[in-house]
Structure 1
């Protein structure tokens, strides 16, 4: 996944899938920029953030058209977290191109499940009672997991990839159900990149820890 021709090949595959599934231009732009963004993120390339801003804007309008309102609202949160992540990755670099990778703290592990359960139930309830959302609670659950993953990613925390892997698996099923086949295929690719991202980030984290004489933790 580290070579430029890998992502080029994946984009060509996306174009082929989009053609045979009669995907809209908006869906095509959203999926290709999303693919490029995640690939750059796995490589710890700072350009993932400006590409991400374009991607979230496209997905906002695409999800509005598909009545996936939780995912639509999520893009606003993602847009803000992209701006935050761009700034955070450029701070405390310690001579590196971007901020060093950190780990989740015990309080983060305790807070995350509570946040996920409460927000999913509340969000799903609102979508059920006040919108014509297609699959409100599933949509809300995946959206909530995505928020947690994006917060961790913006703060350069290794475990973001674990959450993204779960999100990607669930998203493939949801988008296939909504007949957004190009997006479903995109999330299948995201799954592979997320697994690779977890491996490469963890390797980099351990190497930095060895050079510093011990593994550091998120502060």
Structure 2
């Protein structure tokens, strides 16, 4: 029951996202983005090839919207998606994908420092050298997204907490830029991120007794 209910919800979200798209590019980006996050929450390896298509569509969408940090972000996403595809398929221990692990204490210290410093530098560059619309918020979401994508590619549980923060900020930013279908997409991402967190955490705790 629970399984088919989730599939019906996904289908309805796709219909709404597609009906609010303003171009074919945005439509394909919306559809592949939704599928990618949904498959990621299910720990399905097909999230990576579909995600690569999504990255290409969003690169040109953000270019047209003058969200240059987000545009550059898609290049990094492409690289991290290839990395994630490889990592998920290695050290699987007879599972479909690599088992989930937790963030280390060292990373809890390093990642916030990287976030603050890189956001300030990137935001300043965007302000001084481009006509970026909302440079510092754009840079903050972009840097946080790189961190989240790195954690996701590395199969680290805490990636979902970071994605939840990103989704909340992104909904507001894209509404401000009148990118309504993308704003709605990130609202759906938020729901899926919460679901993904619960699923990954459940699977992680289930696998604990089998780890050395």
Fold match (TM-score > 0.5)? yes
After superposition, what is the alpha-carbon deviation per residue over 1:111-147, rounded to whole angstroms, capped at 9, x for unaligned? 0110000110110011011100000000000001100
Query: What residue in structure 2 maps to residue 54 of structure 1?
Result: 53
For 1:55-96, what per-residue CA distance to the aligned partner results, in whole angstroms no more than 9, with x for missing partners? 000000000000000000000000000000000000000010
Equivalenced residues, count = 209
Deviation at 1:203, TM superposition (A): 0.2
CA separation in 2, counterparts of 1:5 and 1:188? 17
**1:217 equivalent in structure 2:** none
Equivalent-residue separation in structure 2 for 1:105 and 1:26 (angstroms): 39
CA distance in 2, matches of 1:108, 1:189: 28
Q: Does 1:10 align with 2:13?
A: yes
Name the counterpart of 1:116.
115
Using the alignment, how far apart are the partners of 1:92 and 1:165 within structure 2? Answer: 28
Structure 2: 5+ residue stretches without partners: none
Question: Quick check: 1:103 aligned with 2:102?
Answer: yes
How far did 1:205 drift? 0.1
Q: Could you tell me how far apart the structure 2 residues matched to 1:81 and 1:5 are?
A: 30
Q: Helix, strand or coil for the counterpart of 2:100?
A: coil
Q: Does 1:44 align with 2:47?
A: no
Write the distance in 1 (CA, Å) between the matches of 2:75 and 2:20. 27
Deviation for aligned residue 1:10: 1.5
After superposition, the CA RMSD in angstroms is 1.2
Give the TM-score, by structure 1 length. 0.93
* TM-score (normalised: structure 2): 0.96
Show the counterpart of 1:87: 86
